Structure 1
């Protein structure tokens, strides 16, 4: 059954941005304009008595998993974050959604293949290697194959990714 107003979980590292609330508002407004509801991770209701440290982290995890459960699909910011790959929390959310059968579309503001962002990449007879000699996968994908191959769409910006995600949901 196709939801009339799909609920979209908005994954990505924006929660760490100095203007996280503003980014969340803009992403939710993008969803509203497209006829769907956006759920930003900071929308999660974390109990006030969660404390600090590990207890607070566990409460945030459970609150965000509850948002993911409410969602019909995920729109993920796959822009590299603090390294050559996407934010690890976003990678977790993508994997969780895929495991639950929810389609995921991503966007990245950094063009090009993953291997081009790995520091000190060298090409040798057996393919691409990093400075430690470890293989760098070279599928021409924007990130690790487990992420990139699990997405139903990839775009250069959130609007393009959302349009493709909604088209995918309508076609189901």
Structure 2
């Protein structure tokens, strides 16, 4: 006998039951009598036992199966850092992901500045360890041509853990196109500080470019690419053990 998915009516009852609501409250929520809900639950349980329908997963089961994405980037330094973090996490939820934002934790107010820094470092390290995927904002930060150093560290740490890493930039311009050369030598252009502007046709330093799957666009476009390749494609993360922890 082939199984079928629960009907819309059955799913509504099951989801309220999963939330731990009593029969009377389920009945009130659905505008039904308690007796009608009890009869429907009995039918659902019988059909599940008979293998005629597949019950919907519990909320905790759904959460465990959703890929967790660590949202790396210098956005945490913005004036609207908290609001932007909520926006990023909503983008994740819209695509079936769980977003892990560096500012999610509450730093204890009793800590001195350097102790607070160590607390944040340890908290972010644990978030990266718990993530299935890391997504990084590699746009320029505090200077032309260079992403945020903290984000670069997090990308490197994730690479060392063997986690899939995705990144995004608002422009696909190469370093040579973006960094103004103050001098030209036999090796190529040199910046105002006297350092060679690397020319590999890449938009960021080769260690970042070669360790990430880089998307030109914003976080929404990057998440769409992740969903397309990792979730809807041949790979799967979140409960599958693809990402090393």
Scaled by the length of structure 1, what TM-score is found?
A: 0.89
Tell me, in whole angstroms, the C-alpha distance in 2 between the residues paired with 1:109 and 1:21: 21
Residue-pair matches, total:
169
Contact 1:153 1:164 in 2 (8 A): no
Q: Quote how far apart the aligned CAs of 1:152 are.
A: 2.2
After superposition, where does 1:11-50 map in structure 2 within 5 Å? 11-49=72-110
**Larger relative contact order (Cα-Cα within 8 Å, sequence gap ≥ 6):** 1
What are the Cα deviations for residues 18-40 of structure 1, in whole angstroms up to 9, with x where unaligned?
A: 01111001100000001110011
What are the Cα deviations for residues 105-125 of structure 1, in whole angstroms up to 9, with x where unaligned?
A: 111124411233334344433
What's 1:158 paired with? 219
- The structure with the larger Rg is 2
How large is the Cα RMSD of the aligned pairs?
1.8
What's 2:130 paired with? 70
Deviates more, 1:159-168 or 1:61-70: 159-168
Secondary structure of 1:153's partner?
strand
Secondary structure of 1:74's partner?
strand
Tell me, in whole angstroms, the C-alpha distance in 1 between the residues paired with 2:192 and 2:114: 35
**Structure 2, gaps ≥5 residues long:** 1-63, 236-245
**Structure 1, gaps ≥5 residues long:** none
Tell me, in whole angstroms, the C-alpha distance in 1 between the residues paired with 2:85 and 2:212: 22
Tell me, in whole angstroms, the C-alpha distance in 2 between the residues paired with 1:135 and 1:10: 31
After superposition, where does 1:94-133 map in structure 2 within 5 Å? 94-133=155-194
Q: Quote how far apart the aligned CAs of 1:128 are.
A: 2.3
What's 1:4 paired with? 65
What's 1:52 paired with? 112
